[in-house]
Amino acid sequence: MSFPARPTLEQVARAAGVSKATASKVLNHRPGVSSGTRRRVEEAIGRVAYVPSTGPRKANALKEVHVVFNTVVNMYVMQVLEGVLQAASGRGVEVLVDSLALEPGASGGPLSEEWIRHLASRRRTGVILVTAELTAQQRSLLKELGIALVVVDPIDPLDQEIPSVGATNFTGGVQATSHLLNLGHRRIGFAGGPRLSTASSERLQGFLSALRASGITADPALIIESRFTFSAGLEMGIQLLSAPEPPTAVFAGSDRSAMGVVEAARRRGLRVPQDLSVVGFDDTYTAMPVAPALTTIRQPIPEMGRVALRTLLQLDRGERPDSPHVLLSTQLVERESTAAPPSPN
């Protein structure tokens, strides 16, 4: 991953209207500079996003990594963060967390131009972006200012210059659907995530591929895409179970969606798995304590966080990552929410 040359101390001096020697004094906290001049230079440092490559640093200075989530109110996020913190432990890395959901569109909020420029001026190591969309302008500015970036579970496709970490979502979709097919289900619904989400789209394609391999034509009425939330899963479950020919099984795009589907079945007087089988995706901490314990596709979420942090530090050292897009393996975890379909009356 290559970055353009960073702004120079000469540019800072010109922007502040002072000599390079004066700018250097301010940067290194030396005396002999008036408060007004010092303030001008500090403002210029932020304005041109100057990030010194050398100079005095505290012996115990921490590198700072900003982990930016779309939201922080689900177990998937907590497990990604757990992995980041594990990888940061003992490496002299301070992990800071931001959420786009707290102040959407707020001036100076995460990923805003002001936030990115401030990040560069504060010598942050870089950014880990988790399941959140990145605009072309944001990508360009991060690259321009030399801020290392790694994306976990990208929402939209990325080019080779932006490293990412994810799971084998297509394979996971095949695994979930094949499990239901092997149990004897032939009418299977899909309760997915956002239509434009790369991960959800890949899970859907795996679902369709497994059906085709079994000679089954997917019923469009049984394919619904919404959000990876409990409420969305509930709504999708109600819609699927209200179909003239409802499914005997549902593959949900996330564990939270799957729990919503289970609740929809309960409200209709259906038992899981006796009347309806449900498979989730993620294997978060909430998948096992629920009743019935959820059959799901495990993606190694903490490991995704660990790989993301290690990759970010590689970029910070000027090293090329082993692979620009790392995909970690998924596996089926069979529990109590799936069984053979009910016998026809």
Give the closest residue to 191 by CA, choosing from 263, 130, 270, 287: 263
Q: In this structure, are 315 and 276 located in the same domain? A: no
**Residue 77: inside a domain:** yes
The arithmetic mean of pLDDT across residues 261-267, rounded, is 97
Q: In this structure, are 248 and 316 located in the same domain? A: no
> What length is written for the chain?
345
The arithmetic mean of pLDDT across residues 53-72, rounded, is 65
Q: In this structure, are 176 and 263 located in the same domain? A: yes
Residue 45 has pLDDT above 50, yes or no: yes
**Residue 340: inside a domain:** no
The arithmetic mean of pLDDT across residues 124-146, rounded, is 86
Sign of the CA dihedral with 211 first, then 212, 215, and 217 last: positive
Contacts of 66 by beta carbon, 8 Å cutoff, 6+ apart: 96, 97, 98, 110, 119, 124, 126, 127, 128
**Residue 54: inside a domain:** no
DSSP code of residue 196 = T
Which region among 105-119, 207-221, 266-280 has the lowest average model confidence (pLDDT)?
105-119
Q: What is the pLDDT of residue 54?
A: 43
Strands (E), 20-115: 63-69, 93-99
Residue 53 has pLDDT above 60, yes or no: no
**In which band, very low, low, confident or very high, does the pLDDT at 305 lie, cut at 50, 70 and 90?**
very high
Q: Is 201 exposed, middle or buried (0-12, 13-18, 19+ CB in 10 A)?
A: buried
Residue 4 has pLDDT above 70, yes or no: no
Q: What is the pLDDT of residue 3?
A: 38
pLDDT-above-90 percentage for the chain: 53
Q: Token digits for 81?
A: 């963060």
Query: Could you please report the per-residue DSSP string of 30-45?
Result: -SS--HHHHHHHHHHH
Strands (E), the chain: 63-69, 93-99, 126-130, 148-152, 164-167, 188-192, 223-225, 249-252, 277-282, 295-298, 325-328, 331-333
Q: What is the pLDDT of residue 28?
A: 63
Residue 92 has pLDDT above 70, yes or no: yes
**Residue 232: inside a domain:** yes
> What pTM was estimated for this model as a whole?
0.79
Could you give the count of Cα atoms lying within 13 Å of 172 in the half-sphere of its Cβ?
A: 31
Q: What is the pLDDT of residue 147?
A: 86
List the beta bridge partners of residue 66. Answer: 96, 127
The domain tally of the chain equals 3
178-205 per-position pLDDT tens digit:
999 999 999 999 999 998 888 999 999 9
Residues 89 and 95: their CA atoms lie apart, in Å, by 10
Q: In this structure, are 225 and 207 located in the same domain? A: yes
Residue 114 has pLDDT above 90, yes or no: no
Which region among 38-52, 61-75, 156-170, 225-239 has the lowest average model confidence (pLDDT)?
38-52
**In which band, very low, low, confident or very high, does the pLDDT at 39 lie, cut at 50, 70 and 90?**
confident
Q: In this structure, are 106 and 143 located in the same domain? A: yes
Q: In this structure, are 155 and 193 located in the same domain? A: no
CATH of the domain at 108: 3.40.50.2300
Q: What is the pLDDT of residue 243?
A: 94
Q: In this structure, are 206 and 236 located in the same domain? A: yes
**Residue 206: inside a domain:** yes
Q: In this structure, are 161 and 307 located in the same domain? A: yes
Query: Could you please report the per-residue DSSP string of 244-313?
Result: SS--SEEEESSHHHHHHHHHHHHHTT--TTTT-EEEEEE--TTTTTSSSPPEEEE--HHHHHHHHHHHHH
The arithmetic mean of pLDDT across residues 95-117, rounded, is 79
The arithmetic mean of pLDDT across residues 23-47, rounded, is 76
**In which band, very low, low, confident or very high, does the pLDDT at 55 lie, cut at 50, 70 and 90?**
very low
Q: What is the pLDDT of residue 272?
A: 97
Cα 192 to chain centroid distance, Å, stands at 17
**In which band, very low, low, confident or very high, does the pLDDT at 56 lie, cut at 50, 70 and 90?**
very low
**In which band, very low, low, confident or very high, does the pLDDT at 343 lie, cut at 50, 70 and 90?**
confident
Q: What is the pLDDT of residue 104?
A: 54
Residue in the structure block whose two tokens are 């972006």 = 129
Q: In this structure, are 162 and 265 located in the same domain? A: no
The arithmetic mean of pLDDT across residues 151-159, rounded, is 82
Q: In this structure, are 148 and 70 located in the same domain? A: yes
Q: Domain range for residue 39?
A: 9-48
- Between the two ends of the chain, the Cα-to-Cα distance in Å is 61
**Residue 2: inside a domain:** no
Q: In this structure, are 144 and 121 located in the same domain? A: yes
Residue 90 has pLDDT above 90, yes or no: no
Q: In this structure, are 176 and 236 located in the same domain? A: yes
Residues 27 and 107: their CA atoms lie apart, in Å, by 27
Which region among 28-32, 48-52, 99-103 has the lowest average model confidence (pLDDT)?
28-32
**Residue 332: inside a domain:** no
**Residue 331: inside a domain:** no
Q: What is the pLDDT of residue 124?
A: 67
